[in-house]
Amino acid sequence: MKYYSRTIVNAAVITLIIICIASCQSKPISKNNISVSILPQKYLVEQLLGDSTPVNVMIPKGASPATYSPSPSQIKNLSQSLLYLKIGHIGFEQAWTKRIAEINPDLKIEDTSKGIALIRDEDHVHGDHIHKGGIDPHIWTSPKTMMIVLKNTEEALSKAFPHKKELIISNSKKLKRQISDLDNTFFQTCDSFKNSKFYIFHPAYTYLARDYGLEQISVEHKGKEPSAQWIKKLIDDGREQNIKAIFVQEEFDKRNAEVISSELNIPIIQVNPLSEDWFVEMNHLLSKLEKTLR
């Protein structure tokens, strides 16, 4: 499955952004912002630093991490940032990180996916060469992998704000205990319905499924809208495999899910992997998994 393709950016937009950056950098800038890719990262940063440090989120609520292109105002905020924390491998970052580095040469960019056992799609052999499978980027949707994201975030913030290092480390210890407890709760709860399968429109819970013994099956087919043939296969397989629920992210169209739900007589469960309140959303997700899969 191709998780995310490179975003195609209009040349006029690029020109406008570069002009904006040049204008911004003509004046002295006090760089005290932190930029992140997605809203769950904002949650981490604010838990570690408090809410006094502005956090510039590059992908706003409701936008796709695969295809979003930043506005000039977002790029301006990025130019005022001391640090940019990547989540790792989303399409937005693949398309924009190099350009961001070019127009902000003093910006420190850190990858918070370092040290995570990443999930790749299968390699594809084409004649005498191999195309490596794409990396699933959804590392923030499992408490187990989020603990590594937290560690990387703590280290990056401690370097950027050495005068706040003690506060950052103290807050990180508290948050790590909370996420560790959540990890244990997920493990114990999911063990009672281990190996259960569920449908999901966009495969956002690959790491969670791996870490807690579940199996997600994507309604999207190879990263694209499902064909009628693929939907029929999901319906036929769903009857055989006793699929009990179909999960849909709030930003996606529910029409295909409604067809499958109606045919299999299973509920559509709305989830929000990109929620800013990561901890609350993960607890809600666990409750929904337990209710529908047990």
Highest mean pLDDT (candidates 32-36, 247-251, 282-286)? 282-286
pLDDT at residue 278 greater than cutoff 60: yes
pLDDT at residue 130 greater than cutoff 50: no
Contact indicator for 185, 144 with CB cutoff of 8 Å:
no
Determine the pLDDT at residue 223: 79
- How many Cα atoms occupy the beta-carbon half-sphere of 108 within 13 Å? 16
Q: What is the rounded CA–CA span in Å between residue 192 and residue 214? A: 11
* Lookup: tokens for 117: 């056992």
- The pLDDT tens digits for 214-239 are 999 999 987 789 999 999 999 999 99
Mean per-residue pLDDT, 158-162: 96
Determine the pLDDT at residue 78: 85
Determine the pLDDT at residue 72: 85
Contact indicator for 224, 204 with CB cutoff of 8 Å:
no
Q: What is the rounded CA–CA span in Å between residue 87 and residue 209? A: 19
pLDDT at residue 146 greater than cutoff 90: yes
Domains 11-181 and 192-293 equal at CATH topology level: yes
Mean per-residue pLDDT, 43-69: 92
Q: What is the rounded CA–CA span in Å between residue 59 and residue 70? A: 7
- The pLDDT tens digits for 93-107 are 999 999 999 989 999
Q: Per-residue b/e over 19-35, b at no fewer than 16 CB within 10 Å?
A: ebbeebeeeeeeeebbb
Contact indicator for 222, 2 with CB cutoff of 8 Å:
yes
Domain 192-293 = CATH 3.40.430.10: no
- How many Cα atoms occupy the beta-carbon half-sphere of 17 within 13 Å? 22
Domain limits, the chain: 11-181, 192-293
**What residues contact 265, with CB distance under 8 A and at least 6 apart?**
none
What's at 133, amino acid-wise? Answer: G
Q: Which stretches within the chain are classed as H helix?
A: 11-24, 39-49, 72-79, 91-103, 143-160, 165-191, 206-212, 228-241, 255-264, 278-293
Tell me which architecture the domain covering 11-181 has in CATH: 3-Layer(aba) Sandwich (3.40)
